[in-house]
Every structure is written in structure tokens, then in C-alpha cells.
Amino acid sequence: MNWFDLHDLENRLIESNVSDQEGFYYLLANVILFGIGSYGTGDSYNYNIFMYADMAIALCITIVGLNLTFKVNKKGDNQDYFKRFMALYFVIGIRLVLFLVLCITPAIILGYFMLGGASSNKTVQDFVFLSLYTAVLIFFYYLLIQSFQRVAQHNPGVE
């Protein structure tokens, strides 16, 4: 894996000398490095311990999810991993966001008022937010892995 020599990487890509495995390592490195970097920019939580827990949980789920999609694709027809990943990731992400906006938002608003609004316990708010975020992330990778299984194991000659 090349970290700094852009010219060498460009030449290797032109000559088709970058394997899917190496491309997967680039994807994994991007997700880890840029994912961790994004946590220093916001204050979604009232207490830092929840931010660190969020970061650790998201990182673990993402690494496991990415590895499983790669393995499922490899066990199937082992073709077009990155094209499949980007397309499936996008469509599943859009569908999940719409689902959350349409179905979960009313539940969150109702829960906000049931917990007493802004005056409720900040620790409870952080815990609920972290739990919901973790559940959504697990569900997202579950859907992604299921889609990879359907695509990578599809055999047009067998119905």
C-alpha cells in the first residue's frame, strides 16, 4: 500500500497493478483516518465519554462490516467489489435516511417530550442517542452484507 507517492500509485492504477485486496486496504484506511478525524469537529454529546464510546463503537462496526462485505464478495463470484460497494452503500444509505426521517423522527420527538425535554437527564439523552446510533449502524451494515450476499452469489444459470 502506497501512502505518499502519488505518481507511483497513478502508474500502478494505469497498469492495473492494484488488486482488489489493496484497494480494500485503501478504503479501510480512509474510513478509519477520516472517520476518526470527524469526531473532533462536533459536540453531539454532553459528556466526552459518550463521544469516545461512539467513536470506538462506530469504528469497530465499520471495520467488521467492511471486512464482512469483502469476504462475502470474495466467497461469491469475487467480482467488482468497489463498484458494488459504492452503489449498494449509496442506495442503502439513502433508503435508511428516508426511513429514519419518516419513521423514527416522530418517535424521537415523542420521546423527547416524554423524557421532559431539555431539562431531562443529560446522561440519559447521551445514552439513548448512542444506543440508537449504534443500532442504526449495525442495521445499515446488516443490510449491506445481505445485499452483497445476493449480488455476489447470484448465478444467472441457476434459478
Asked if pLDDT for residue 158 goes beyond 50, the answer is no
What is the pTM for the complete model shown? 0.77
Angle at alpha carbon of residue 62, lines to 147 and 51, rounded to 5°: 140
Cα–Cα distance list, 90 to 86, 95, 110 (Å): 6, 9, 29
Q: Give the residue-averaged pLDDT of 134-139.
A: 94
What is the predicted pLDDT for the residue at 116?
Answer: 61
Asked if pLDDT for residue 159 goes beyond 50, the answer is no
What is the predicted pLDDT for the residue at 52?
Answer: 85
The dihedral over CA atoms of 123, 129, 134, 140, expressed in degrees to the nearest 10, equals: 180
Q: Measured between alpha carbons, how far is 86 from 69 in angstroms, rounded to an integer?
A: 12
